[in-house]
Amino acid sequence: MNNRALKEKLAILKKVFELFDEFSEDVDRACAEGCGACCTRNVTLTTLEADHILDGLTADAKEELLTRIANELHKKRLTPKTTINELAKLCMAGEEPPEEFGDPAWGACPLLSDQRCMIYDLRPLACRSMVSKERCDVTGFAQMDDYTVTLSNIFTQYVEHIDIGGYFGNLSDILLLEGDREKYGQPPPSENILVNQKLEILMVPPEHRQRVAEVISAIKKL
């Protein structure tokens, strides 16, 4: 991907984030600064989101981030078996998707410091959309209503779609991959990294279709 194409996609991604913030503004949430219980080693993202993070950092901050990740790469983390658009196609075909497993007990995200995110303003959609009606450090898990999950899925599917030609995987693997731009566009270097898929069908249950019509319309205009 050339620099111009990347910049155009990054501009679209920023608009997607702004749009998500707009449509999720009224979501019931107990999340607050310093609440990092849901910030585990199991965050996933696309290469485009990784570029968004890295482009927003100074050279020193980027080096520190990649060093922190590399130092913890030996630890267990979720390595997804499907992308969300691939999952949607499997469901559409009536096929059973592979089981995904990511244990929160594996530890905190390597970018969490003193219960605060080092890249909060640059965080990927998976982090932006992870909200809970009750504090996770009290209940032990996030409590999301069904509509919030649907909203998150729509935006996640679209982000993957605009990063066609890129990859998807655990935050640690993708950020280290994108730390070396020469690797971008090459075949995935390991089975932990998946190829992004086109959006063919949205994961929207019938009861939410009317409610999300405005969301989908706004996304199509980006």
Tens-digit pLDDT profile for the chain (222 aa)?
A: 678 888 999 999 999 999 999 988 776 665 566 676 778 999 999 999 999 999 999 999 999 999 999 999 999 999 999 999 999 999 999 999 999 988 888 999 999 988 889 999 999 999 988 875 566 665 555 667 888 889 999 999 999 999 998 999 999 999 999 987 655 455 566 778 999 999 999 999 999 999 999 999 999 998
* Confidence (pLDDT) at 33: 65
Contacts for 102 with CB less than 8 Å, ≥ 6 apart:
40, 41, 42, 77, 78
Pairs from 132-140 (Cβ < 8 Å, separation ≥ 24): 132/29, 132/30, 132/31, 132/38, 133/28, 133/29, 133/30, 134/30, 135/30, 135/31, 135/35, 135/37, 136/35, 136/37, 136/38, 137/35, 137/37
Pick the closest to residue 54 from 195, 171, 164 (CA basis).
171
Q: Euclidean distance between the first and final Cα of the chain, in Å? A: 20
Amino acid of residue 123: R
Amino acid of residue 16: V
Q: HEC string of 144-172?
A: CCHHHHHHHHHHHHHHHHHCCCCEEEEHH
How do residues 26-54 score in pLDDT, each as one tens digit?
766 655 666 767 789 999 999 999 999 99
